[in-house]
Structure 1
Amino acid sequence: MGAIKQLIRFGWEEAWSCLFAVAIFASLAITQLMTLPFLPRYDWLLIIFILMQVWMIRSGLETWDELKVITLFHLIGLALEIFKVHMGSWSYPEEGYSKIFGVPLYSGFMYASVASYLCQSWRRLKVDLVRWPSSLAVVPLAIAIYLNFFTHHYWIDVRYWLAWLVIIIFWKSWVTYEVNGIRYRMPLALSFMLIGFFIWVAENISTYLGAWEYPNQAETWSLVHLGKVSSWVLLVIVSFLIVATLKRMKGRCI
């Protein structure tokens, strides 16, 4: 029973950490089921997400420092979206006034929700890192992973080489977290894979609700290829490395 209570408590903290992501799913579902007046769907989503962000700050659920990190991820994600849509990897077929280069501005919030989850869970679960590698290895690795999302369209895809580098660099690294005063630990590489898998699950829900559209989903919705998990794992690694590096530089909770 003690283990079950701990699991329930852990799930509760994780659910609160995913609040921004839950709001995104709810908004996608509502705007898919009903047509809102005056503005296209993409514009309403942008307004809803901005209001959600304002509420989270004013309510104290997120700090101003966390907002800075989330904004950084919004910009990083938006740049990636513009490039990927230009290359035909996926598309946003609906109309919207808030689209730039074919990408609605609300899309950056989907990346920001990952950063929001990392910051929230870090604070709620009192996350700590054991045997964190040197910044001389971490920073170039994060940059290389992010650039590969762009360069593999023109050069070879080195994601699996980068994945092996992650395993090598973080082989002895652990993440520790606290639930009801009890500390637990997990290999850092395993946490990357778990978060990446659940984002893939969320991606399937998002595409089903029309958040964006892959070429093979133009006629009818289909499951996103399982191979996309590797992309999400790498994106999670970039996100985690940025958040962890900023926290270590600041020396206190963001």
Structure 2
Amino acid sequence: MRALKQLMYFGWEQALSCLFPVVIFASLALTQFVQLPLLYRYDWLLLICLFMQWWMVRSGLETRDELKVITLFHIIGLALELFKVHMGSWSYPEEGFFKIFGVPLYSGFMYASVASYLCQAWRRLNVNLVKWPPFLAVVPLASAIYLNFFTHHFWVDVRWWLSALVIIVFWKSSVTYEVNGSLYRMPLVFSFILIGFFIWIAENIATFFGAWQYPNQTEAWSLVHLGKVSSWLLLVIVSFLIVATLKQVKRNQPFDSKTYDKPTITGEISE
């Protein structure tokens, strides 16, 4: 019974941390079946995301510093969207006033919602990092993963080599988190895989409600290829590394792996 109670509490905290993504999915479902007046669907989605972001900061669910992190992810995601749509990886077939080169501006919030989840879960579960790798290993690896999303269209795709590097670099790393006063520990690589898998599930829901289309979904919706899990896994790693690094910079901790024999990074990105 205690294990069940802990699992339910953990699920509740995760659900609260997913508030922004849940609103996006609910908006996708609503606008798919209900035609709202005056504006195109993509434009309504942008307004809903902007209002949700404003409300989360206004209500105190997110701090101003967390908003800066989320805005950074919005820019990173929008840049990736512009490139991928241009290359034909996926498309946004519907009309919209707020579209740039075929990409609706609301799409950046789908990436920002991942950052929102990370920030929320980090604070709610009091996440700590154990044996975090050196700064000079983390930043180049995250940069290489992000750049590969662009360069693999013109050069060899090295995602599997990068995945192997992630395992090597973070093999000894783990996260600790609190659930209802009890401390738990999970290997960091395993947490990456879990988050990446659930985002793949979310991607299937998003494409089902017409958030975007892959080439094989133009005629009718079909399950997103399982190979996309690797892409989302790498994107989650980039997201996690950025959030973790910014938290570390905020706390002015030295980038020395020897100092991470016990949890040292905790709490939210405070104002």
TM-score (norm 1): 0.99
Distance 1:96 1:53 in 2: 21
Q: Tell me the equivalent position of 1:253.
A: 268
Distance 1:253 1:22 in 2: 21
Residue 186 of structure 1 aligns to a residue in which SS?
strand
Mark the runs of 5 or more structure 1 residues left unpaired by the alignment: none
- C-alpha deviation, 1:253, in angstroms: 2.3
Q: Tell me the equivalent position of 1:88.
A: 88
Distance 1:3 1:216 in 2: 42
Percent of counterpart pairs with the same letter? 78
Residue 183 of structure 1 aligns to a residue in which SS?
strand
Q: Tell me the equivalent position of 1:68.
A: 68
Q: Tell me the equivalent position of 1:200.
A: 200
Show the 5 A alignment for 1:70-149.
70-149=70-149
With a CA cutoff of 8 Å and minimum separation of 6, indicate the structure with the bigger relative contact order.
2
Distance 1:174 1:225 in 2: 29
- C-alpha deviation, 1:152, in angstroms: 0.1
Residue 39 of structure 1 aligns to a residue in which SS?
coil
Equivalent pairs counted in the alignment come to 254
Q: Tell me the equivalent position of 1:218.
A: 218
- C-alpha deviation, 1:53, in angstroms: 0.5
Show the 5 A alignment for 1:170-185.
170-185=170-185
Paired AA for residue 143 in structure 2: I
TM-score (norm 2): 0.93
RMSD: 0.5
Show the 5 A alignment for 1:144-183.
144-183=144-183
- C-alpha deviation, 1:57, in angstroms: 0.7
Q: What does the per-residue CA deviation read over 1:197-254, in whole Å, with 9 as the maximum and x for residues that have no partner?
A: 0000000000000000000000000000000000000000000000000001101621
Residue 190 of structure 1 aligns to a residue in which SS?
helix
Paired AA for residue 162 in structure 2: L
Would you identify which runs of 4 or more consecutive aligned residues in structure 1 move more than 3 Å? none
Distance 1:144 1:154 in 2: 15
Residue 43 of structure 2 aligns to a residue in which SS?
helix
Q: Tell me the equivalent position of 2:187.
A: 187
Distance 1:88 1:253 in 2: 38
Distance 2:248 2:78 in 1: 26
Distance 1:9 1:163 in 2: 32
Q: What does the per-residue CA deviation read over 1:83-119, in whole Å, with 9 as the maximum and x for residues that have no partner?
A: 0000000000000000001000000000000000000
